[in-house]
């Protein structure tokens, strides 16, 4: 399997890599089960095999079939995934789901994913073993089986998140297009209840095979989510086979963010442009290239978003499957063609801050080349920070979501924070 991000990173100077590492980054599109580190999955598979051997001895005829699914899926992930088209991607997950089907195994997997993104690693390829991101919005679809209910699934994931400060991570609850309408509504009700209990549930995602289901059937649950104060991020227009009707129907619920949005037609683009101040796109460069929804990075739709001044968030999608990192996704922005887009440091820095814009509802003040930018934020999360042009945090600050500060107030705050 080709690693586009690693190739881009290898082409950069150490100074450029240090710059990318130092950028404050937010990961906004990462699927829990698609980001489990391979070593963790291998450990779970070994434990699973031991349990299955016990099941065999008790005469459980389901065990061999499940064991074969796990073995086959793990072998593909170890050897490197090669996809001819995007729908093959979803065939990888039955094995992963089997390995995270109990609260105990789900807890292990969740902790490993949070560690991957938010903690320094002794095995990291980063120059200073820095965490991949400063803030993570992890998403997952709650599954129900004989070991746990959907609520227990989400509570297990949230319990691991509680290890970290609230400003470090939050949960997006995913609806799968293959779900029944009643199941979708149940999941949103659970998410809304957890949010009201003070848990860090911040939004609802729509995911799954992109051509499955009728978009109208998803609307009641999505509208109910908005009524409950949950923001929406929707996988949309991922393939050429996605219908215009599907795209326009999903846009009608006014999502805050769009996942991929690879094949928007002119009418959909016009809607996005009309909402450019309150809508962002989650860009997953390696994912799109490896799923063959984009043939070459020079033709990637991120170029249209940037040319039109729209907000973009650079994301990894599924690090287990694509063997990528957030740093490597940023390397694809900076590396010279044909390995990357060849963007300047200033352009990459602004994109990184756009990621922040996609997470925080209050005011974030960014000093870039002695120019003040009052970035009004309106999506997920609850943290406000002040950073300087190098990406260093100067001071945490708390503002009401509708508050605006004058330039004089901002300069006084930064002056006080930096001892000037």
Whole-model pTM? 0.83
The rounded distance, in Å, linking the Cα atoms of 249 and 324 is 32
What pLDDT, on a 0 to 100 scale, did the predictor assign at position 128? 53
- Under 8 Å between Cβ of 282 and 28: yes
Apex 380 CA angle, 378 and 385, nearest 5: 75
CB atoms within 10 A of CB 307: 8
The two tokens of residue 197 are 């209990």
Which residues of the chain fall short of a pLDDT of 70? 50-64, 121-129, 356-420
- Under 8 Å between Cβ of 349 and 332: no
- Residue length, the chain? 420
> Sign of the CA dihedral 389, 343, 358, 164?
negative
- Tell me which residues are annotated as active site: 238
What pLDDT, on a 0 to 100 scale, did the predictor assign at position 121? 63
The rounded distance, in Å, linking the Cα atoms of 42 and 12 is 32
Q: Per residue, what are the HEC states of the chain?
A: CCCHHHHHHHCCCHHHHHHHHHCCCEEEEEEHHHCCCHHHHHHHHHHHHHHHHHHHHCCCCCHHHHHHHHHHHHHHHHHCCCCCCHHHHHHHHHHHHHHCCCHHHHHHHHHHHHHHHHCCCCCCCCCCCCCCCCEEEEEECCCCECCECHHHHHHHHHHHHCCCCCCCEEEEEEEECCCCHHHHHHHHHHHHHHHHCCCCEEEEEEECCCCCCCHHHHHHHHHHHHHCCCEEEEEECCCCCCCHHHHHHHHCCCCCEEEECCCCCHHHHHHHHHCCCCCEEEECHHHHHHCCCCCCHHHCCHHHHHHCCCEEEECCECHHHHCCCHHHHHHHHHCCCCCCCCCCHHHHHHHHHHHHHCCCCCEEEEEECCEEEEEECCCCCCCCEEECCCCCEEEECCCCCCCCCCHHHHHHHHHHHHCC
Residue 273 CB partners (closer than 8 Å, separation 6+): 308, 310
- Half-sphere exposure of 149 toward its Cβ, with a 13 Å CA cutoff? 7
């Amino acid at each position: 399997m080709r690693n586009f991000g690693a190739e881009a990173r290898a082409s950069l100077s150490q100074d450029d890599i240090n710059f990318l590492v130092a950028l404050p980054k937010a990961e906004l599109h990462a699927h829990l089960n698609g980001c489990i580190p391979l070593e963790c999955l291998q450990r779970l598979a070994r434990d699973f095999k031991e349990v299955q051997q016990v099941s065999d001895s008790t005469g459980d005829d389901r065990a061999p079939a499940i064991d074969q699914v796990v073995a086959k899926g793990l072998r593909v992930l170890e050897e490197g995934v090669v996809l001819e088209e995007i729908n093959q991607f979803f065939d990888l997950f039955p094995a992963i789901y089997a390995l995270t089907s109990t609260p105990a195994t789900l807890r292990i997997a969740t902790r490993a994913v949070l560690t991957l993104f938010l903690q320094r690693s002794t095995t990291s390829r980063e120059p200073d073993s820095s965490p991949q991101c400063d803030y993570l919005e992890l998403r997952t679809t709650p599954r129900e089986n004989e070991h746990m209910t959907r609520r227990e699934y989400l509570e297990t994931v949230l319990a691991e998140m509680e290890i970290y400060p609230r400003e470090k991570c939050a949960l997006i609850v995913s609806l799968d297009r293959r779900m029944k309408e009643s199941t979708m509504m149940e999941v949103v009700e659970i998410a809304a209840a957890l949010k009201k209990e003070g848990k860090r549930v911040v939004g609802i995602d729509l995911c799954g095979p992109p051509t499955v289901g009728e978009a109208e059937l998803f609307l009641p649950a999505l509208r109910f989510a908005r009524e409950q104060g949950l923001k929406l991020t929707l996988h949309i227009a991922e393939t050429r086979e996605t219908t215009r009707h599907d795209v326009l129907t999903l846009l009608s619920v006014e999502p805050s963010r769009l996942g991929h949005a690879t094949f928007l037609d002119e009418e959909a683009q016009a809607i996005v442009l009309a909402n450019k101040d309150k809508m962002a796109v989650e860009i997953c460069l390696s994912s799109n290239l490896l799923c063959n929804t984009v043939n070459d990075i020079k033709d990637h739709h991120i170029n249209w978003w940037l040319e039109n001044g729209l907000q973009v968030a650079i994301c990894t999608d599924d690090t287990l499957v694509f063997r990528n990192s957030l740093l490597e996704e940023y390397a694809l922005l900076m590396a010279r063609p044909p390995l990357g887009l060849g963007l300047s440091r200033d352009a990459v820095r602004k994109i990184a801050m756009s990621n922040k814009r996609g997470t925080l509802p209050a005011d974030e003040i960014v000093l870039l080349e002695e120019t003040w930018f009052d970035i009004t934020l309106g999506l997920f999360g609850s943290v406000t920070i002040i950073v300087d042009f190098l990406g260093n945090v100067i001071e945490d600050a708390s503002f009401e979501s509708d508050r605006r500060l004058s330039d004089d107030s901002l300069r006084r705050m930064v002056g006080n924070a930096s001892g000037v």
